[in-house]
Amino acid sequence: MATNRWWRGGVIYQIYPRSFMDTNGDGVGDLPGIVDRLDYVASLGVDAIWISPFFKSPMADFGYDIADYRDVDPLFGTLADFDRLLAKAHGLGIKVMIDQVLSHCSVEHEWFRESRESRDNPRADWFAWADPKPDGTPPNNWMSLFGGVAWKWEPRREQYYLHNFLSSQPQLNFHYPAVREAMLDNLKFWLDRGVDGMRLDSINFCFHDAQLRDNPAKPAHLRVGRGFSADNPYAYQYHHYNNTQPENLALMEQLRELFDRYPGATTLGEISSEDSLATMGEYVNDRRLHMGYSFELLTEDFSAAYIRGTAEALEARMADGWPCWAISNHDVQRAVTRWGGAEASGTFAKQLVALVCSLRGSVCLYQGEELGLGEADVPYEALQDPYGKTFWPNFKGRDGCRTPMPWDDSAQAGFTTGSHPWLPIAEAHRALAVQGQERDAHSTLNATRGFLRWRKTQPALQWGDIRFLDTAEPVLAFIRSFEGQRLLVAFNLSAAAVEWEIPGDLQVRAIDSHGLIAGQVEDGLLKLPAQGVFYATIA
């Protein structure tokens, strides 16, 4: 593929900087820690890294509440550290993507500090302000995803401001042209610095309904969502008006115009709406975002029918776009536990990496996924996530997937020289540390490396079309095709051996399993062991 389309079929390794590597002993990971471990990242065979926010922030939402879009928070280092990171990554052949949060900022951002002072200051219209109803209540019924009403009173203006997330994350007013210009200029700052792409957080939340219409109620039996639970009042509504507005499409086109000025730079939009697949179909194409991902494979649903249905529905709606798949990230329970339970095996962890890397599209692998890390159990007294604190004990928040990366089996897992990491290190994670897996030729880590190296030699897996085959549970099977190469790919998603009759019109030759538990063909019958995989060329 053309150099400036490196992201097509690429594997992007997500780094959550607080939890990757701490070099100064304060218990929090930092940019120099990422620099120190870039050789390890390069050894995985990934194409790029995505670094979660490291900008100046009061850290109410751990960096997703930005107080200065153009500087590094001292907790993580300096701009010089970032430049050093960028240079070393590029020297290793790794692209660098950074997180950008366009829809909202922190209450400590200078823009909001000025805006909240009065109704007639230069930035008075930069945020989503609204008058109260005659009885003093909020202007409408919108709810915050993090719990409670999405409006907070500001006595200096005698108005409410909108916050779709924490009350310390005020919603920017993208209806105001100066806001759009300022945010695009912030993106340009980092593009000029040399970053290769941006993951755009909650990108469909930039615009809100200018008429402030009430969201309609959702029936109790439909109160499910992507990334929130039925006990969250956010689930009680159809979110037709507080996000995913028509005006957002023009913003996507403005973003693309900007990025097109930087050959090879890419955009990856995080999209969560009432119909995320349909929204991705609108947002991702040659005129808007390069890639998009949603929470569809970040849920508890794990079956061949669900995975096939999700991928086929997206294929139908994104004819001109390019998807990016993720099964774990910093916002959801780790996939090994979510889909395999507390006792999930290393075999299952290997299979999940192969599965997500075999679908049509690009891939985001979350740090520790290559080790087979499961969800950590963080006790309430150690909890940091405000989301978890609000909904405890029904929902324990996101800390369990954010605990420090285990580099060795020492007390602090080689993550910090300090005695108090910002989140406790799970005992089970020490047993899966990098150092130990490096020495085991059959480890999840080495299987991941072998698989990703092999994947780079398979054009059909990187760029090919996908066609699913009719199978009964628990078998998922499809064909990937690209310029004459055809691969049959099959997975047994269960913990028991199964058999599947390969369609008679397919003449196949098995390919080395590359450290995965592989199936065998006998007289057209594919015998898949528990959590087995099968790759074969089709004549």
Q: How far is CA 318 from the centre of its chain?
A: 19
Q: State the Cα–Cα distance between residues 61 and 342, nearest whole angstrom.
A: 27
- Asked if 201 is an active-site residue, the reply is yes
Cβ(283)–Cβ(271) under 8 Å?
yes
How far, in Å, CA of 9 to CA of 363, rounded?
7
d(CA 114, CA 294): 34
Residues with Cβ within 8 Å of 275's Cβ and at least 6 positions away in sequence, in order, are none
Start-to-end CA span in the chain (Å): 24
Strands, sheet with 533-538, edge to edge from the N-terminal-most edge strand: 465-468, 475-482, 485-492, 533-538, 508-510
The DSSP H or E segment spanning 322 is strand 322-325
Residues 54, 59, 61, 66: is their CA dihedral positive or negative?
negative
215 DSSP β-pair partners: none
Rounded CA separation 444/449 (Å): 9
Sign of the Cα torsion 39, 44, 46, 50 reads: negative
Conformational region of residue 136, where left means phi above 0, alpha means psi within -120 to 50, and beta covers everything else: left
From residue 5, alpha-carbon distances to 8, 99, 282 in Å are 6, 19, 20
- What b/e string do you get for 493-510 counting C-beta neighbours within 10 Å, with b at 16 or more? bbbeebebebeeeeebee
Which is the catalytic residue, given 61, 65, 99, 201? Answer: 201
- Contact between residue 366 and residue 330 where contact means Cβ atoms under 8 Å apart: yes
Among candidates 323, 327, 311, which has minimal Cα distance to 269? Answer: 323
154 and 160 in contact (C-beta within 8 Å)?
Answer: yes
The rounded distance, in Å, linking the Cα atoms of 436 and 454 is: 23
Q: How far apart are CA 210 and CA 207, in angstroms?
A: 8
C-alpha dihedral sign at 116, 75, 40, 298: negative
Set 61, 270, 282, 369: catalytic member: 270
- Residues identified as active-site: 201, 270
